[in-house]
Structure 1
Amino acid sequence: MKQKLSFFLLLLSVGIANAQVEEKKLDELVQNTLKTFDVPGISVGVIKDGKVIYSKGFGVRSLNSKQPMDDTTLVGIASNSKGFTCTALAILADEGKLNWDDKVSKYIPEFQMYDSYVSQNVTIKDLVTHRAGLGLGQGDLMFFPEGGNLTVNDIVHNVRYLKPENPFRTTLDYNNIMFIVAGEVIHRVSGLSWAEFIEQRIMKPVGMTSSFGSYNRAKAVANKIDAHAPVDGKAIAVPHDWNETANAAGGIMSNIKDMTTWAEFLLNNFTTKDGKKLVSDKNVQQLWSLQIPSGVAAKNPYDTSFYGYGMGWFLSDVKGHKQIQHTGGLIGTVTQFTLIPDMKLGIVVLTNQQSGAAFNTITNTVKDSYLGIADRNWLKTYGDRMKKMEESFDKQKKEAFAKSETFKK
C-alpha cells in the first residue's frame, strides 16, 4: 500500500512539474510575441474542461503610463461583441418576443434597403449573418473612425442609400452596419439600450463582473488599455477610435477574467455557474450552425474542409473538431476568441496593438498543443511573414515618394 501511495505521489509531482514547464513555455512565448510584433501589452486566458488553467497579462497597458497589463485590464473586444448581440437576440427569441425569420420592418417600420424587394424580405437572421448583400465594410464610414455625429437612427435611415455589392443572401461579406440595425431591434423589443441589455441580461447572470457594454460606460475605470499603432516602424499610443453608435457591432470592454468566464458559459451549453440556461438548445443550434458558407484554401494548416458564419461567430473545422471563433479589431487593438466545444477548450487573446500575427501566434500554438500537433514555431512563421510584408510596404512607399518627386519637377 505504501509503495502504491509513493508511486501515486511521484506521478502527481511529475504532473505538476510538467504543468509548470508548460506554463513557463507559454509565458516565454507571450514575452517573445510582444517583442517580435512590437505589442506593448497582451493578456491571455485558457480554459479547459471547465477550469481556467491560464490567466495572465504581460507588458504594459499603455506606453504613456507604463502601468502593467494584467488579466483584469479592460480591452475593447471590438467585433467579439457580435456574439453577445446574437445571444441577446436568442434570449428574446426564447421569450417569444421575436423570431429569427421575422422581417426587420416588423420592429423598425421605417427601415429600408436600396432594393425594395430586399427591404420587404430582409430578416433578423439576415442582419447577423453578413448575407444581406452589402459589401465588406460597406457603410462603415458612417461611424468609423471616431468623430462622426450620426445617431443609430441616422444609420438605420441611411442604409437605404447603400447600393449592395452582391445579390441578396448569396455571399458572406463581413459588414458592421447590419449589426447596428440588429442592436436597434433589441432596443425596440426590450425597451433597453443595447448596452443595458447586454450588461443586465447577459453579463450579470454569466458573472462578467467587470465588463461594460460600451467604452463610455467604462470611462471611470483606470485599469484599461490605451490603443497603439505602428508609426514609422514603432508602436505609439493613439486615440481610442470607437463610436458609440456601433456598440452592437463592437462596443464591449472586457478583460481576460471575464472573457474566460464567458467562454466557460458558452462551453457549458450557454448555462451560468448557478445552473441557469440563458439560451435554449434550439437556439444554440441556430447560433452555431453554418448560415452562410465561404471558401476554404485547398491546403491549410488545420485540414479545414468548411468555413463560414453562423450568427455572431465564424465556424470551421480544425483537424476534425468544430471550431467557434471570432476576432475583433479597432485602430490600435485586436482580439481573438476561440472555442473548440467537443474538447471543452477556450483560448482568449487580448492586445493593445493591431497585430493579428500576435494573437494568431499564441492561439495557434496553444491550440496545436491540445490537438497533439508538434511545435510548428508559429512565432517564426508569422514573424517572417510580417517582416516580408513590412519590407514590401517600405519598398512601395519609397517608390511612391520617388514618383511624387518626379511630378514636382
Structure 2
Amino acid sequence: MKSQIVMSEFETYAKGLIEKYQIPGTAIGFAHNGTTVYEKGFGYRDVDRKLPVTMDTVFGIASVTKSFTCMAIMILQEQGKLSVHDPVVKYLPEFSTPTDATDKMTIHHFMTHSAGLPPLPSLFYAKKRSFDQDPSAKDYPGLSIPEDNNQGPIDTYEQLMEFIAGLDFELLGEPGTEFSYSNDCYALLGTIVQRLSGKTFEQFVKDYILDPCGMENTCFEIEELKDYDNITSLYAARIVDNGLEVYEAPVWWESPSMRGAGALKSTVNDMLKYAEIIRTKGKVGEKRILSEDSVEQMITPYIECSPGRYYGYGFMITPEFHGSTLVEHGGNLKAVASQLCIIPEKGITGMILTNLAGVPAVTIMAGALNNLEGRNVDATPYSTTKYELSLDELADFEGTYTSNEGMSLTIKVTEEGLDFSTQGTSFPIQCVGKDLFLAVVKDQKELIRFVRDDSGEIERVAYHMRQFPKR
C-alpha cells in the first residue's frame, strides 16, 4: 500500500451514503501531479464470495467514455482527416433529421450536445438484445419499455441513422443554441472515427489512447480481459416490502451501434493514467497523446448545460469551483455510477467507480474533493438563494414532461410549494431563480430549469442534462 493522505471525515461520510444506498462495492482514488495520494475500496466486487474492491477492479464507466470519443475525434483532426467544424453530413451523408437544419449540424455541435436533437428512443433499441436477455432490466431506474415494441434491435451505425431518419421530431433550436445531452450524437461520432480511420471505433481508441496510456485493464467488451479475474460482479436493486433489495444481475448491457456513448470498462488506476492527458495538456509520462491545443479545445466551456456549468468536448467544466476549474464527467448505466474529475490548476485527478446504478457517486466524489481540499465534506460550490412564489405563479410549472428516452416527470402544486415526481418517488423542489428550481434527488443536487416559448408559456423542462417537452 502506498503512503497516502488521511481522509477520515470523508470515509465516515462515504460509508453513510454507501450503507444508505446499499452499494455493494465502491472504488475511489486520487492523484496529485501524477502520484497517487489516496485510494480506498469500500465493500465488495463480489458480495457472495467476499472479494474486495481494489484500484484494479474493472467496472463499467458508462458515459465517461464520451471523452475518449472526443479525444479520438481530436486525434483525427491532428492527423488532418477532419475539422471539428465540418458538417456531419460530409462524413455521414445518410444522416438526416425531419428538419431543414441537418446540413448545419457540425461535429462540434455533436461533441457539445448542441445539435438541437431532443432525447430520442434509439438507445433502448441499441441495447434491446441485452434487455431481452436480462430480467433485471425492469428494475433499472427510469427505464420504461416502449409500448411499440415492434422495432427490432439497432445493431449497426447504418441502422441507427436509418432509425433517426424515420423519426418525427422538432429540433430544440438551431444547431449551436440549445444544450441537450445526446447519446445518439456520440454514437455517430464513433461512426465518423470508424469511417475516417479505416479501423473499428473500438480498435482506434485502443491503438491511439488505451495502449499508449498503458491502460491494460480497460476494454469495450469484457471478454477481451480473458484470464483477468479482478472484475466486478453486476448488481441491480428492486423495491420489496421492507425497502430495497440489491441482487446480483450478471448480464452486461451491450450496444454495438452506440459504443461511443458509454461502453468502456476500466479501473481507478487506469483512469488516473488517462486523466493525466488533461492534467499535463496532452501527455502520459513521456508519451504525447494529444497536442496542448487539442486538450485546450476539449476543456473549453462552449455551452452552458446548467447554471455555472458548461460542456466542452466530452467533459463538463465548472469554471468557478471553489476558486479553481473543475473538469469532470459522470456516468450511469446498469451496475454503474461513475465520475472522473480533474482540477488542472491544482494537479488533482480523481476517479470513483461503483457497481450499482442510480446511486450518488457524484456526491461521494464531491465529499472526497471537499475533504482533500480542506472544506466541509458537504460544501457546495454555488449559493442557492430561495425565492418565494405565489400559488398562481407556481401553477405555471404544473404538468407532465416526457422524454422520448423514457423519462417522465410530473410537477404539481401543493400547499408547501411545488412537488416533483419521477421514477416512483416524489419530493419538494425549491425556487432559486427565475424559472429555476433546486431538487435533491437521491442525495444529489440537481437544478431544474423551465423553458418558455415566445408567448411566455412553459414549453419544456431542462432536467438531468436533457430538455424534454410538456405533454
Report the TM-score range of the alignment, normalised by the length of the smaller protein. 0.7 to 0.9
- Is the partner of 2:206 in helix, strand or coil? helix
- Is the partner of 1:60 in helix, strand or coil? strand
Which of 58, 64, 79 is the aligned partner of 2:42? 58
Q: Relative to 1, partners in 2 of residues 1:314 and 1:136: Cα closer, same or farther, differing over 3 Å?
A: farther
The answer to whether 1:328 aligns with 2:331 is: yes
Q: Distance in 2 between matches of 1:395 and 1:137?
A: 25
Deviates further, 245-254 or 165-174:
165-174
Once the two structures are superposed, what CA deviation does each residue of 1:261-309 show, in whole Å capped at 9, x if it has no partner? 11123211121212x322222222221112221332xxxxxxxxx2121
Once the two structures are superposed, what CA deviation does each residue of 1:6-29 show, in whole Å capped at 9, x if it has no partner? xxxxxxxxxx8xx66x24555544
The aligned counterpart of 1:5 is none
Which of 308, 320, 328 is the aligned partner of 2:310? 308
* Percentage of matched positions with identical amino acids: 24
Q: Distance in 1 between matches of 2:232 and 2:301?
A: 34
Judging by fraction of residues, say which structure has more helix. 1
The answer to whether 1:269 aligns with 2:281 is: yes
Q: Relative to 1, partners in 2 of residues 1:374 and 1:28: Cα closer, same or farther, differing over 3 Å?
A: closer
TM-score w.r.t. length of structure 1:
0.80
Which of 34, 45, 61 is the aligned partner of 1:77? 61
Structure 1 residue 32: Cα displacement:
3.7
Which of the pair has more CA radius of gyration? 1
Q: Distance in 2 between matches of 1:135 and 1:218?
A: 36
The aligned counterpart of 2:203 is 196
The aligned counterpart of 2:295 is 284
Structure 1 residue 107: Cα displacement:
1.6
Aligned residues: 357
- Is the partner of 1:87 in helix, strand or coil? helix
The aligned counterpart of 1:237 is 248
Letter in 2 for 1:37: Y
Once the two structures are superposed, what CA deviation does each residue of 1:7-64 show, in whole Å capped at 9, x if it has no partner? xxxxxxxxx8xx66x2455554444433222000001111112211123322111335
Q: Relative to 1, partners in 2 of residues 1:285 and 1:29: Cα closer, same or farther, differing over 3 Å?
A: same
Letter in 2 for 1:277: R
The aligned counterpart of 2:367 is 365
Letter in 2 for 1:334: A
Q: Distance in 2 between matches of 1:101 and 1:213?
A: 28
Which of 34, 37, 47 is the aligned partner of 2:31? 47
The aligned counterpart of 2:260 is 248
Contact in 1 for aligned 2:332/2:357 (Cα 8 Å): yes
The answer to whether 1:118 aligns with 2:130 is: no
- Is the partner of 1:42 in helix, strand or coil? strand
The aligned counterpart of 2:159 is 154
Letter in 2 for 1:339: I
The aligned counterpart of 1:301 is none
The aligned counterpart of 1:258 is 270
Q: Distance in 1 between matches of 2:377 and 2:305?
A: 29
The aligned counterpart of 2:385 is none
Letter in 2 for 1:247: R
The aligned counterpart of 1:127 is 110
Unaligned runs of 5+ in 2: 132-152, 381-418, 428-471
Contact in 2 for aligned 1:215/1:244 (Cα 8 Å): no
TM-score w.r.t. length of structure 2:
0.70
The aligned counterpart of 1:13 is none
The aligned counterpart of 1:213 is 220
- Is the partner of 1:356 in helix, strand or coil? coil
Letter in 2 for 1:294: C
Q: Distance in 1 between matches of 2:103 and 2:127?
A: 28
Once the two structures are superposed, what CA deviation does each residue of 1:309-349 show, in whole Å capped at 9, x if it has no partner? 11101111312211111111112221111111111111211
- Is the partner of 1:52 in helix, strand or coil? strand
Letter in 1 for 2:302: Q
Contact in 2 for aligned 1:55/1:71 (Cα 8 Å): yes
Q: Relative to 1, partners in 2 of residues 1:219 and 1:153: Cα closer, same or farther, differing over 3 Å?
A: farther
Deviates further, 164-173 or 100-109:
164-173
- Is the partner of 1:187 in helix, strand or coil? helix
The root-mean-square deviation of aligned C-alpha atoms, in Å, is 2.7
Once the two structures are superposed, what CA deviation does each residue of 1:58-94 show, in whole Å capped at 9, x if it has no partner? 2111335442221111111010000000011101101
Q: Distance in 1 between matches of 2:424 and 2:188?
A: 37
Structure 1 residue 235: Cα displacement:
1.1
Contact in 2 for aligned 1:332/1:353 (Cα 8 Å): yes
Q: Distance in 1 between matches of 2:184 and 2:36?
A: 35
Q: Distance in 2 between matches of 1:330 and 1:74?
A: 15
Contact in 2 for aligned 1:227/1:332 (Cα 8 Å): yes
Structure 1 residue 171: Cα displacement:
1.2
The aligned counterpart of 2:321 is 318
Contact in 1 for aligned 2:332/2:358 (Cα 8 Å): no
Q: Relative to 1, partners in 2 of residues 1:368 and 1:66: Cα closer, same or farther, differing over 3 Å?
A: same
Q: Relative to 1, partners in 2 of residues 1:361 and 1:135: Cα closer, same or farther, differing over 3 Å?
A: same
Judging by fraction of residues, say which structure has more strand. 2
Which of 290, 295, 306 is the aligned partner of 2:306? 295
Q: Distance in 1 between matches of 2:273 and 2:296?
A: 21
Letter in 2 for 1:151: T
Q: Distance in 2 between matches of 1:291 and 1:62?
A: 41
